Amino acid sequence: MKNINKISGAEAVIRSLIEEGVDLIYGYPGGAIMPIYDELYKFQDKLNHVLTRHEQGATHAAQGFSRVSGKVGVVMATSGPGATNLVTGIADAQIDSTPMVCITGQVASHLLGSDAFQETDIIGISTPVTKWNCQVTKAEDIPKVLAKAFYIAKSGRPGPVLIDITKDAQFELFNYNYQKCNSIRSYNPISTCSDDLFDKASKIINDSKKPFIVFGQGVILGNAESEFKKFIEKTGIPSAWTILGLSALPTDHYLNVGMVGMHGNYGPNVLTNECDLLIAVGMRFDDRVTGNLNTYAKQAKIIHLEIDPAEIDKNVKCDIALLGDVKSTLPKLTKLVNNNTHDKWLKTFSDYYKIEYDKVIHNEIYPTKIGLTMAEVIKEINIATNGNAVIVTDVGQHQMVACRYAKFNDSKSNVTSGGLGTMGFALPAALGAKMGAPEREVVAVIGDGGYQMTIQELGTIFQTGSAVKIVVLNNDFLGMVRQWQQMFFEKRYASTELINPDFVMIAKGYNIEANKVSKRSELTLAVKKMIESKKPYFLEVKVEKEDNVFPMIPTGASVSEIRLE
């Protein structure tokens, strides 16, 4: 707790951030937040501010920073368009449970509701996509509101919070006093359940002959990777991941059977409808995972370990719900279950993998076609980084390929836009990831479409000197949309073909070393050179124009109707 004689509301914002341990902010200044930026100038020795080239870039950078560091990302922007430009990133953070505090300036309180210059009701706009938001019109409220904001953002199921501060509140003087928030009346971030439910769950697990685990990002957000590993190794249960759960368990772990969902692996999808027990750990049964809910795992008993009560029975009805942080609930369950192996059941997954490997995987990573495939690019990145890199992906075909083929040894290594599917996410998110884990290699894998949505953030990378490695897989198409048009719209490629600029020239314009590869014989050396560079580096790889990503579950189909071609 700090007591300081009268200071301005703007200075209180900066001091409160420092009290919360913040040392990095992403943002873009403007008229309504200028007093806060003026105070920030005086605290440059304690707070590093990164000037992104667009406010959306600031939110994605804060997301990338948070996802690899485990800290709360912080963003600042001005009123009106500055605030509304944050909304896409805030919505992305909300659905992917990323803790973030956004601070926006607002017109003076006496102008609220008058359609003043750059006035927008950002509280009304952001309410559906924030965990909490609040408008501050008095300086004295700033410390307690910010303390509350950080507590809400990072407690329980994390999420974004927005604080809107009027300009007069930023100028107003008051007696500053800061106290961290540790609880809020009526807000219970972590639910609990009775011990008898653990007894019942363990009995079901012990009696099961074909148990199957699907794990999500809750394992990573709960820092429960070790607890999860102990649980699956004791029970011997095959485990598959959602996109956001990827990297919670090493890719090469013997019980890691791959990815579920629309472009997931063959075995985990088909066998979802053959298991007798499905254990969901820190995941929300997203529609891309379940396919047709009417046919999803109807033969299985379902145990759901989840921190958010709102997710229980929302999409898939469970037999037992174990509410709580998985870091606490998993050890309780591990104590009660028997040591077991399910070798015959595990071999079934291996058999399906062999079918998938022969029909899909081998042809993708060792292609006979002339053009380069996206999968073989990911294979070269795996070799060059030994599976130790943070891989940041955008949204589209390249995202699915990277998630399918990237190798991970460590947690918090896969950064992608999951629930919202935001094109333009990867470039700024990779910058944030590199700043959140500067000692790690960070590789952004991006499609040529999404790349151009936030391409201006090359300027931020140039200005900060962050050694982000950028790989654009260029097929001159909006690839995922084109794939759907080919498969379901009789090849009517409506508005999906791209006439692209000279990406290498653009990167060099930002003083970033750049290279382009179109031949297989050039790929290994080009990737090696990129990874060995100590500076930002851009690599464009021309890949096959009309390659599709398989396996695939068509929209509305059952997971067991997954197609290999």
Q: Say yes or no: 237 and 304 in one domain.
A: yes
What is the mean pLDDT of the segment spanning 452-477?
A: 97
Residue corresponding to tokens 């409160």: 16
Q: How many CB atoms lie within 10 A of CB 148?
A: 19
Which residue of the set 42, 46, 117, 545 is catalytic? 117
What is the mean pLDDT of the segment spanning 324-346?
A: 97
Q: Say yes or no: 527 and 387 in one domain.
A: yes
Residue among 329, 352, 330 nearest 233 (CA): 330
Q: At 5, is the pLDDT very low, low, confident or very high (cuts 50, 70, 90)?
A: confident
Backbone angles phi, psi at 377, to 5 degrees: -65, -45
**298: in domain:** yes
Rounded to whole angstroms, how far apart are CA atoms 125 and 87?
Answer: 8
Q: Say yes or no: 383 and 507 in one domain.
A: yes
**190: in domain:** no
**189: in domain:** no
Instruction: Tell me whether strands 537-542 and 513-517 are parallel, antiparallel or unpaired.
Output: parallel
Given a contact cutoff of 8 angstroms between Cβ atoms, the answer to whether 526 and 515 are in contact is: yes
Which residue of the set 19, 34, 43, 118 is catalytic? 118
Indicate if the pLDDT at residue 2 is higher than 60. Answer: no
Name the domain count of the chain. Answer: 3
Q: Say yes or no: 293 and 144 in one domain.
A: no
Which residue of the set 262, 423, 453, 480 is catalytic? 480
3-state helix, strand, coil in the chain (%, to 5): 45, 20, 35
**563: in domain:** no
What is the mean pLDDT of the segment spanning 87-100?
A: 98
Q: Say yes or no: 159 and 227 in one domain.
A: no
What is the mean pLDDT of the segment spanning 279-305?
A: 97
The Cα diameter of the chain in Å comes to 73
Domain hosting residue 28, numbered range: 7-174
DSSP letters of 325-393?
-HHHHHHHHHHHSPP---HHHHHHHHHHHHHHIIIIIHHHHS--SSSBPHHHHHHHHHHHHTT-SEEEE
**360: in domain:** no
Residue corresponding to tokens 């996509």: 129
CATH number, domain with residue 416? 3.40.50.970
Comparing 5 with 478, the larger pLDDT belongs to 478
CATH number, domain with residue 343? 3.40.50.1220
Q: Which two tokens stand for residue 363?
A: 């042809």
Indicate if the pLDDT at residue 387 is higher than 80. Answer: yes
Arithmetic mean of pLDDT over the chain:
96
- Does the active-site annotation cover 380? no
Q: Say yes or no: 36 and 73 in one domain.
A: yes
Q: Say yes or no: 510 and 458 in one domain.
A: yes
- Does the active-site annotation cover 217? no
Give the side-chain half-sphere CA count within 13 A for 450. Answer: 31
Give 108-141 pLDDT, tens digit per residue: 999 999 999 999 999 999 999 999 999 999 999 9
Q: Say yes or no: 254 and 304 in one domain.
A: yes
Pick the range with the lowest mean pLDDT from 413-417, 480-484, 528-532. 480-484
**179: in domain:** no
Which residue of the set 71, 167, 327, 407 is catalytic? 167
Indicate if the pLDDT at residue 532 is higher than 70. Answer: yes
Q: Say yes or no: 95 and 204 in one domain.
A: no
CA-based R_g, the chain, Å: 24
Q: Say yes or no: 18 and 72 in one domain.
A: yes
Q: Say yes or no: 429 and 498 in one domain.
A: yes
What is the mean pLDDT of the segment spanning 206-229?
A: 98
**28: in domain:** yes
**359: in domain:** no
* Percent over 70 (pLDDT), the chain: 99
**32 residue type, one letter:** A
Which residue of the set 55, 119, 227, 311 is catalytic? 55
Which pLDDT does position 4 carry in this prediction?
65
Q: Say yes or no: 274 and 394 in one domain.
A: no
- Does the active-site annotation cover 117? yes
What is the mean pLDDT of the segment spanning 410-425?
A: 97
Which helix (DSSP H) or strand (DSSP E) does residue 106 occupy? Answer: strand 100-106
